[in-house]
Amino acid sequence: MKSPTPLRIAFYVGYYASGDGIGRVLERQIAALEKLDWAAPVEIRIFCEETDFSDPRIHRQHKLKRLLADPFFKQADLHVYAFGWHYKMFDTVRIASRRSRSFVFFHGITPEAWSPHPKGSRKSFEQKRNLLFADRVGVASPFARDDLLAFGVSPERVTILPLPLFVRPAHAPVKQTGGPVELLHVARLSPNKGAVDLLKALDAVSRRGTSFHLTIVSGVNGATPSVLEEVRHLMKEPSLAGRVDHVDHIDDDKLLSAFYEKADAIVLPSYHDAYCLPVLEAFAHGCHVIAYDSTNLPHVTNGFGTLVSTGNVEGLSQAVDRFVREMEKARRDGDDARITTDSGPVPLAAHRQRIEAYANGFSEAVFEDQFLDEVRTLLAARPGQGRLLARMKRLLESGWKKA
């Protein structure tokens, strides 16, 4: 009996790196495919420009001509692209969509005004038009979906696939009951993430006599120099000296989890976030979230956080000050003391239970199942696609069962 023809799936990404958000999403997509029993063998090829992974399926590719001539590109049944930053291979979406089927996971693009690399943002927005040629486009959030609809991508081709948590607590979070209230900021030191606004707000909180401690977790190597310089300057202010620590980027999820567990709240005065995974990571560890009301933050906080008008540093200061005082009262009076949220005052113990349950709904299993649904939809035959999609239809009819 003749063995079935392999189903070939090609992945494309500019920088495929361990610990990187885009790389982690791609890992989960590949893991989903590997967990299934297919009616035909599946061959996977990962095309990227740079990587720190060692995997025989990875092929570094910098030349479009070479990619277009590659037999796997020509024969692939499905092309899966990651896009959030410009890279040459993303320009092949138009060709791939004509030959077979294509799926793009759109991670969002930081606007030029907020980007640490304005030229790169401009190039990325130029490539954004390729999304119009993809068969399906996945996004992580309602904000990103609305952005695509306004851009001209038809609604029936856009689907929301919320990203899963990557940093989870190893055990039930245990918060400290003494010492200053612990605040956390996990984000790049770039113009859009609001670290300067945060420190200016905390300067005002400190001058009111409120006690706190802030830990900033952010890589120096990826920082915008002007933002890094201003952050370091503000940290030396008498009102903040000794109250703010800066920890360089952490690659170990367990270490980052320890910072979340120690924190009472994470403060994210971001001007632009297409998703903002630290919100969910904080919730999973029982941390309250104080943030600006920009972009996707109202969606991802889901009424559980405390949102402040974007750019309102004084409002941010007042929100942090109120939270710190409420936490101090909760430590004295017990978990029945209330924390102010966008849904109203909530007993601290109940608040932590709700946010942890909400965050735990963003699982890898759910994300993988949703991605596989997209794969099945794409590989289902449609009229006029000839022998290629007819073969896909036969594979579908023969049954793809979960392992």
Answer yes or no: is pLDDT of 49 > 70: yes
Beta-carbon-side half-sphere exposure of residue 129 (alpha carbons within 13 Å)? 3
Per the CB < 8 A criterion, the answer to whether 218 and 246 are in contact is: yes
Query: 385 pLDDT exceeds 60?
Result: no
CA distances from 146 to 14, 190, 377 (A): 25, 24, 22
- Greater model confidence, 364 or 336: 364
Residue 30: the pLDDT is 93
CATH T-level topology, domain 181-360 = Rossmann fold (3.40.50)
| Residue 336 clears pLDDT 90, i.e. is over it | no
Average pLDDT over residues 290-297: 97
Tell me the average pLDDT of the chain: 90
Indicate the range of 34-43, 111-120, 292-301, 356-365 predicted with least confidence.
34-43
- Residue 3 clears pLDDT 70, i.e. is over it: no
Those residues with Cβ within 8 angstroms of residue 288's Cβ, 6 or more apart along the chain or in another chain: 264, 265, 266, 282, 305, 306, 323, 339, 341, 351, 355
Q: How far is it, in rounded angstroms, from Cα 323 to Cα 267?
A: 11
- pLDDT average, residue stretch 131-158: 96
Predicted pLDDT of residue 353: 95
- pLDDT higher than 70, residue 140: yes
198: confidence class by pLDDT, cuts 50, 70, 90: very high
pLDDT the model gives residue 402: 40
Q: Which two tokens stand for residue 193?
A: 């993430």
Residue 232 tokens, joined: 């370091």
Q: Where in the chain is the domain with CATH 3.40.50.2000?
A: 7-164+363-402, 181-360
- Tell me how far apart the alpha carbons of residues 56 and 43 are, in angstroms, rounded to a whole number: 12
In 3D space, the residue among 241, 178, 254 whose CA is nearest the CA of residue 214 turns out to be 241
Q: Looking at residues 293-300, what average pLDDT do you find?
A: 97
pLDDT at position 335 is 64
pLDDT band at 1 (very low <50, low <70, confident <90, very high): low
Instruction: 144-153: list long-range contacts, CB under 8 Å, 24+ apart.
Output: 144/106, 144/107, 144/108, 144/274, 144/275, 144/296, 147/108, 147/274, 148/106
The pairing of beta strand 401-402 with beta strand 158-160: unpaired
Spatial CA neighbour of 101 closest among 77, 73, 137, 81: 77
CB atoms within 10 A of CB 99: 15
pLDDT at position 287 is: 97
pLDDT value for 395: 47
**Which of 31-35, 114-118, 174-178, 202-206 holds the top average pLDDT?**
202-206
- Tokens representing residue 71 in the block: 């037999």
Please state the pTM of the whole predicted model.
0.89
Q: What is the mean pLDDT of residues 173-195?
A: 91
370 pLDDT higher than 60: yes
pLDDT for 381 beyond 60: no
User: CATH for 7-164+363-402?
Assistant: 3.40.50.2000
Q: Which pair of structure tokens corresponds to residue 1?
A: 């009996």
Question: How far from 299 is each of 5, 141, 145, CA to CA, in Å?
Answer: 44, 8, 12
